[in-house]
């Protein structure tokens, strides 16, 4: 009964926050859809010792962000992630010129054949010297302790960003870690992604589009503790994204991350993937619909 009660509390808190914000004058709605073949299937068996790049996987997200008077902001959304699976979340932030602090909760749902729901907490912090430098941290962690029963699962997300401003660009270094663990019988299966990204967001005043360039190194692992078997893929990615504004309120974006070089580890050790045989990539597109009053702050994006 504990998990349904947690889900009910999550729904009530989210509803109350959104209803209290409807009288505010700012509203943002955004969505993202991504597809690619640079990943492992959710149900990949431990006996599979190959990686062909022929499995096209997709994920996406949808969120609503509403400004509340007196420097508060609430965000609620749904995310389907290749690593973290299904997540519903809500986050309440307090913002001033030099920092913002956020707390919230999330619910992972229908991610396994056992536990239908699993709740967790969210904490975020951003420190900024406007127009000069900023640092931000977000941590999402399941409240689940050790995994013991069949179908138990846990989710963890950590994002750390250090950024600075130069003429007509925002440059940032990003560390992102995602982990999903699930018990299947006596076997704990762990999906983990660690990604290091350097990014430049290039813009020009009064020009309705922006260019975002990035280079990243990521390690993707799927571990089976009963094996023990480790399936790993380490990749260098080059990314390009184009954001363009349509009118005052709508922004569309489209981007792709191309694989420059990938090398397998664990059971995939000795395999390398370069060029177009196979062509490995992650492509995405999305939108932001923003009715917020114009401000001088940088746009946070998805």
Q: Rounded to an integer, what distance in angstroms lies between the CA atom of residue 40 and that of residue 287?
A: 27
Residue 300 within any structural domain of the chain: no
Residue 298 within any structural domain of the chain: no
Determine the average pLDDT of the residues in 215-227.
Answer: 93
Domain range for 162 is 2-48+58-290
Quote the tokens at residue 188.
């704990």
**Residue 291 pLDDT:** 86
User: At 119, which CATH number?
Assistant: 2.40.160
**Total domains in the fold of the chain:** 1
Nearest residue to 58 (alpha-carbon basis) of 90, 84, 91, 36:
36
Residue 30 within any structural domain of the chain: yes
Q: What percentage of the chain's residues is helix, strand, coil (to nearest 5)?
A: 5, 65, 30
**Residue 295 pLDDT:** 45
Residue 296 within any structural domain of the chain: no
pLDDT, tens digit, for every residue of 96-154? 989 999 999 999 999 987 667 899 999 999 999 999 999 999 999 999 878 888 889 99
pLDDT, tens digit, for every residue of 231-290? 999 999 999 999 999 998 999 999 999 999 999 999 999 999 987 778 999 999 999 999
């Amino acid at each position: 009964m504990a998990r349904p009660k947690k889900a009910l509390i999550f729904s009530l808190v989210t509803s109350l926050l959104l209803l209290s914000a409807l009288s505010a004058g700012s509203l943002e709605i955004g969505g993202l859809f991504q597809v690619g073949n640079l990943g492992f299937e959710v149900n990949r068996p431990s006996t599979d010792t190959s990686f062909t790049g022929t499995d096209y996987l997709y994920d996406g997200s949808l969120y609503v962000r509403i400004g509340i008077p007196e420097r508060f902001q609430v965000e609620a959304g749904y995310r389907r992630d290749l690593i973290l699976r299904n997540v519903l979340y809500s986050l309440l932030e307090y913002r001033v010129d030099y920092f913002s602090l956020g707390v919230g909760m999330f619910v992972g749902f229908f991610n396994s054949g056992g536990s239908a729901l699993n709740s967790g907490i969210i904490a975020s912090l951003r420190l900024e010297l406007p127009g000069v430098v900023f640092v931000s941290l977000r941590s999402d962690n399941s409240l689940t302790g050790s995994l013991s029963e069949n179908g138990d699962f846990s989710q963890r997300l950590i994002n750390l960003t250090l950024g600075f401003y130069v003429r007509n660009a925002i440059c940032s270094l990003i560390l992102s870690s995602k982990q999903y663990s699930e018990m299947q019988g006596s076997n704990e299966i762990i999906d983990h992604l660690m990604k290091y990204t350097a990014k430049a967001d290039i813009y020009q005043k009064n020009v309705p589009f922006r260019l975002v360039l990035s280079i990243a190194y990521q390690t993707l692992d799927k571990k089976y503790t009963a094996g023990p078997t480790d399936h790993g893929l380490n990749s260098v990615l080059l990314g390009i994204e184009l954001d363009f504004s349509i009118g005052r309120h709508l922004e569309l974006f489209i981007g792709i991350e191309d694989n420059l070089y990938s090398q397998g580890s664990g059971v995939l050790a000795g395999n390398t993937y370069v060029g177009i045989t196979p062509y490995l990539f992650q492509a995405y597109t999305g939108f932001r619909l923003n009715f917020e009053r114009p401000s001088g702050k940088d746009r946070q994006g998805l």
